[in-house]
A and B are shown apart, each in its own frame.
Chain A
Amino acid sequence: MHCEGREGMKELQYDVLVIGAGAAGLAAALEVSRNNASCALVERESHLGGILIQCIHNGFGLEEYKEELTGPEFAERQVQAVRAADVDIFTDTTVTQLNAENDRKEAYCYSAVYGVLRISVRAVILAMGCRERNRGNIRTPGTRPAGVYTAGLAQRLVNIEGYIPGQDVVIVGSGDIGLIMARRMTWVGAKVHAVIEIQPYPSGLTRNIVQCLNDFDIPLYLSHVVSRIEGKQRVEKVQVSPLTNGIPDEENSFEIPCDTLLLSVGLIPENELSKEAGMEINPQTNGALVDATMMTSIDGVFSCGNVLHVHDLADWVAEEARRAGAYAVRYLRNERPKRQIRIKAGANVRYINPAMFDPDNPDKLYFRSLIVKNQAKLQIKLDHKPVKEVRLSHVQPSEMLHVKLKPKDVAGWNIMKDSVLEVSIE
């Protein structure tokens, strides 16, 4: 690490900068340092671990550590490994600007501890995670009183700050965060009156439906929306409407009195920094378009974890981030793939990551289904010719899927320069 000041500002130089120290950033930084490159890990919060810290429930680590851990336990293992490695960690430090077009990239970081820092590197790994969609994003009409929270904010208030936001709760969205908060709010003594889901099927894991709703007799309304919020100063009630042909059915609407509405309506990758740096975004994921090495459209800038696409499992985040870390170091050594071909999302596939394939280094592909189906089939075609099939016992849009391609899969493929690999679900 070199430290020099220009016009008073502190300037630091490294091989790699990792932005964000959640599951992704921690795994990426560790991998960079294992490959003997110097690494700065910058995190805006005062703690490491990102969103994991507030997920005090079980369900983490089965793949990474072969045992079931809570979020903070999962983070703790990652943090210990990173602290033991040669990584310079800057907490309470926010990256506010990234200039990445040149060979040497510069990040400006604001911190109450270090002042303004300029970190100059050759490669950057984006691991900024995501933010929650909010009321405005789903355009729920009504008044604008106190008592409307995103589920993650409520989780933070309860699990970390120790505050209970309300007593009579309605939850919008049946994703895992919504389900887990239904149970959590019940445990802290609140009454959860309902979970409202716009889709005809729940979007969380079946395990969570059973353990978080059924065990507590919390009703789940499928194909319903909260069509209105009422209350002057604090939420007083919500209007709930069944959906008929995708439109709220006013006539069959009903009201639920409550003082709190928790929104668990999806996550959006936090790519503002990346967009300002000029990075190309995949409209399907709101994350970067990355090649087989997890590199974005900007040379030397890599992306992984929830900032690339929203993951369900921290274990998969860590796996993906390790790849980004390893490829970033190879980039420093000018080791780039000899060839890459395009991967295309085919029938019933919403998106697939990465968007390019390196036939000489086949690896894992992550994707999401557009349909709900039991006994589905994954079909991979090379230039319209089927080359691999995988049975999938169950697919649904809210569950991320993956397939790992091996050298032996690729061995007999006739790959041309402009070949396209297409992944579809039948």
Chain B
Amino acid sequence: MASTDAAAVRADVAIIGAGLSGSCIARQLSAYELDIVLLDKECDVSMGVSRANSGIVHGGFHHNLKYLKSRLEIRGNLMYDRLQRELDFPFKRCGILVAALNDEEMKYIDHLYTQGVENGAIGIEMCSRERMFELEPKLNPDCVGGLHAPGGGVLEPYRFVFSVVESAQKNGVEVVTNFEVVHAERAGERYRIHAADGRQVEARYVVNAAGLFADRVSEIFGAEEFQIIPRKGEYFLLDRATEAAPQRVLFPVPTKVSKGMLVIPTVEGTVLIGPTAQEIEDKEDVSTNADQLNLILDQARKMVPKVSQTDVITAFSGLRPALADGDFYIDISAKAPNFIQVAGIQSPGLTAAPAIGEYVKDLVKKAGCSLVEKADWDPYVSKLPRIRDLGPYEADNLVNANPAYGNVVCRCEEISEAEIVEAIRRGHTTLDGIKYFTRAGMGRCQGGFCSYKIIKLLIRETGMSYKDIQKCGAGSELLRDAL
């Protein structure tokens, strides 16, 4: 991500962590007369927990209202339609089904239904076996009934973050990437925040939205002590041509540790199966493991028997940044002045993110920061045309205006040169950055055909040397030498 030289940056608010939480907070605060910096240690935004998850906007029935996460989930869910209009990201309210495979499980459905009703989940419905098959013919024939939550939906989390960040930037937020916060001290009324590479930022208020590393950042600022326990979830991604694609997100009846293994029709037409749930120690260990991957296939087949391993195009994993009590911890620090904690943001953190933004905005105000609305705040971002969404006639007009739209670079996802160049110009200058922004390289060939073309476009557009082209950040250089 293009970043400003932060040496001289002095801000009112510094937000540490540009994932779903940090970016929604930044955008929310960008509506006020404040200087805001959004800091992240990675080469691009959304490269932490917000990169690899299920991408579900939850239906509001999984958790009891006594939890903050449940209240923010309900509120967050309702905010998505408006956000979609403003921010132009792919989002679909496809609905959620929870399938019970026996009478015992059906009792739990009862409980989920009651909880959903108490939470005010809109349109929630108890379903007979017949109704379940009407809603999803591909279900396991053993299904005895279940729950339907029409308000649930799917989106691509990183795509959403990119849009939110773009909007925040448009309204004056400075984004600084490759900025790993390693140290902080008080300097009068401000914090002086130091990055690993020596750069500094000063800010009056600090928001800790550092995901898996929120405990570490809290320690750096001398705030509360707590521990984030990473819980790994592994997935398989299936080709968009799979016969296993359901109409709605399919959940099993949840277990104590997780919501179980799902079959998810992604908003881009592929199918995601998973996640597993395994507590681990290393917060950087996003490897996948043979035993877990087999488990995913077995469990997913219990939902949709048509799931086939020949449809697998890739596997990945994400880490849930969990606190011991399972809830979000969002509050003004009692120990460090003007320091706001946004920690333990595990599921439903994506659903809740817009509501977290609002909630933290109010905490910032409560901490003493005066919020004066900007007269010229603009909630909209410019729409980016994608040739795959256009019919031939519309595409023809676009190509006439800019021929680069006619050059299909990524054949599997049908992404044009113009879209890739736009991603590069918006500061996504790594292969992963371009992939997450445009989808080039995300399809069935996984970059086998287009990687070299994207490398060439990167060199052409940025003037970088081939040696500096990275997959994602320092150390991930792709090419060693030239002939």
Partners in one complex: yes
Whether A146 lies near B476 (C-beta < 8 A) is yes
Whether A111 lies near B411 (C-beta < 8 A) is no
Whether A233 lies near B473 (C-beta < 8 A) is yes
Among A132-166, those with CB < 8 Å from B are 132, 134-137, 139, 141-147, 149-150, 152-153, 156-158, 161-166
Q: How far is the CB of B457 from chain A (nearest CB, A)?
A: 13
Whether A131 lies near B241 (C-beta < 8 A) is no
Among B293-337, those with CB < 8 Å from A are 293, 309, 312-316
Residues of B with C-beta under 8 A to A165 = 478-480
Among A154-199, those with CB < 8 Å from B are 156-158, 161-167, 188-189
Whether B482 lies near A136 (C-beta < 8 A) is no
Q: A161-B452, A164-B483 are in contact. Are A131 and B393 (CB under 8 A)?
A: no
Whether B399 lies near A112 (C-beta < 8 A) is yes
Number of interface residues of A (CB under 8 A): 57
Cβ of A259 within 8 Å of any chain B Cβ, yes or no, is yes
Whether A110 lies near B478 (C-beta < 8 A) is no
Please tell me which stretch of A91-99, A211-219, A332-340 contacts chain B, meaning at least 4 of its Cβ atoms lie within 8 angstroms of it: A91-99
Whether A116 lies near B395 (C-beta < 8 A) is yes
Cβ of B387 within 8 Å of any chain A Cβ, yes or no, is yes
Number of interface residues of B (CB under 8 A): 61
Considering the chains assembled together, what is the distance between the CA atoms of A248 and B294 in angstroms?
14
The residue of chain A having its C-beta at the shortest distance from the C-beta of B471 within the complex is: A146
Interface string of A91-120 (1 = CB under 8 A from B): 010101100000000001011111110100
Q: How far is the CB of B180 from chain A (nearest CB, A)?
A: 14
Q: A115-B400, A131-B445, A156-B452 are in contact. Are A162 and B475 (CB under 8 A)?
A: no
Q: How far is the CB of B430 from chain A (nearest CB, A)?
A: 10
Whether A115 lies near B451 (C-beta < 8 A) is no
Cβ of A205 within 8 Å of any chain B Cβ, yes or no, is no
Residues of A with C-beta under 8 A to B404 = 112
Q: How many A-B pairs fall under 8 Å by CB? A: 157
Q: A111-B406, A163-B482 are in contact. Are A234 and B287 (CB under 8 A)?
A: no
Cβ of A424 within 8 Å of any chain B Cβ, yes or no, is no
Whether A141 lies near B288 (C-beta < 8 A) is yes
Considering the chains assembled together, what is the distance between the CA atoms of A317 and B16 in angstroms?
58
Considering the chains assembled together, what is the distance between the CA atoms of A166 and B479 in angstroms?
6
Whether A110 lies near B446 (C-beta < 8 A) is no
Considering the chains assembled together, what is the distance between the CA atoms of A165 and B447 in angstroms?
15
Cβ of B477 within 8 Å of any chain A Cβ, yes or no, is yes
Residues of A with C-beta under 8 A to B472 = 146, 233
Cβ of A391 within 8 Å of any chain B Cβ, yes or no, is no
From the candidates A9, A94, A143, A188, name the one contacting B287 in the complex (CB within 8 A). Answer: A143
Whether A92 lies near B407 (C-beta < 8 A) is yes
From the candidates A110, A149, A152, name the one contacting B395 in the complex (CB within 8 A). Answer: A110
Cβ of B284 within 8 Å of any chain A Cβ, yes or no, is yes
Residues of A with C-beta under 8 A to B403 = 112-113, 115
Considering the chains assembled together, what is the distance between the CA atoms of A95 and B470 in angstroms?
31
Whether A146 lies near B478 (C-beta < 8 A) is yes
Considering the chains assembled together, what is the distance between the CA atoms of A352 and B396 in angstroms?
42
Cβ of B188 within 8 Å of any chain A Cβ, yes or no, is no
Residues of B with C-beta under 8 A to A166 = 480
Considering the chains assembled together, what is the distance between the CA atoms of A234 and B473 in angstroms?
10
The residue of chain B having its C-beta at the shortest distance from the C-beta of A159 within the complex is: B483
Whether A137 lies near B312 (C-beta < 8 A) is yes
Cβ of B448 within 8 Å of any chain A Cβ, yes or no, is yes
Whether B483 lies near A136 (C-beta < 8 A) is no
Residues of B with C-beta under 8 A to A134 = 313-314, 445-446, 448
Cβ of A251 within 8 Å of any chain B Cβ, yes or no, is no
The residue of chain B having its C-beta at the shortest distance from the C-beta of A259 within the complex is: B480
Whether B406 lies near A110 (C-beta < 8 A) is yes
Cβ of A7 within 8 Å of any chain B Cβ, yes or no, is yes
Residues of A with C-beta under 8 A to B417 = 112
Interface string of B247-258 (1 = CB under 8 A from A): 000000000000
Whether B393 lies near A164 (C-beta < 8 A) is no
Residues of B with C-beta under 8 A to A227 = 290
Considering the chains assembled together, what is the distance between the CA atoms of A315 and B392 in angstroms?
37
Cβ of A44 within 8 Å of any chain B Cβ, yes or no, is yes
From the candidates B315, B397, B449, name the one contacting A136 in the complex (CB within 8 A). Answer: B315
Considering the chains assembled together, what is the distance between the CA atoms of A72 and B98 in angstroms?
56
Residues of A with C-beta under 8 A to B447 = 153
The residue of chain B having its C-beta at the shortest distance from the C-beta of A8 within the complex is: B396
Whether B449 lies near A161 (C-beta < 8 A) is no
Cβ of A83 within 8 Å of any chain B Cβ, yes or no, is no
Residues of A with C-beta under 8 A to B313 = 134, 136-137
From the candidates B314, B411, B452, name the one contacting A135 in the complex (CB within 8 A). Answer: B314
Cβ of B237 within 8 Å of any chain A Cβ, yes or no, is yes
Whether B406 lies near A115 (C-beta < 8 A) is yes
Considering the chains assembled together, what is the distance between the CA atoms of A112 and B408 in angstroms?
9
Closest 9 interchain pairs by CB? A233-B475, A136-B314, A146-B471, A116-B396, A146-B476, A164-B481, A233-B476, A112-B406, A112-B407
Known: A110-B399, A145-B471. 20 other contacts (CB 8 A): A110-B387, A110-B395, A112-B417, A116-B399, A134-B448, A136-B237, A136-B315, A139-B236, A144-B287, A149-B451, A153-B451, A163-B479, A164-B482, A165-B479, A188-B481, A228-B287, A228-B290, A234-B477, A272-B412, A272-B444
27 A-B interface contacts by CB (under 8 A): A7-B393, A44-B411, A94-B408, A110-B387, A112-B417, A113-B403, A115-B399, A116-B393, A118-B392, A131-B444, A134-B314, A134-B448, A136-B314, A137-B312, A143-B286, A145-B471, A146-B431, A146-B476, A149-B451, A153-B452, A163-B455, A163-B466, A165-B480, A167-B480, A188-B483, A233-B471, A233-B475
Q: Which residues of B contact A (CB under 8 A)?
A: 236-237, 241, 284, 286-290, 293, 309, 312-316, 387, 392-393, 395-397, 399-400, 403-408, 411-412, 414, 416-417, 431, 444-449, 451-452, 455-456, 466, 470-483
Q: Which residues of A contact B (CB under 8 A)?
A: 7-9, 44, 92, 94, 96-97, 108, 110-116, 118, 131-132, 134-137, 139, 141-147, 149-150, 152-153, 156-158, 161-167, 188-189, 227-228, 230, 232-234, 248, 259, 272, 275
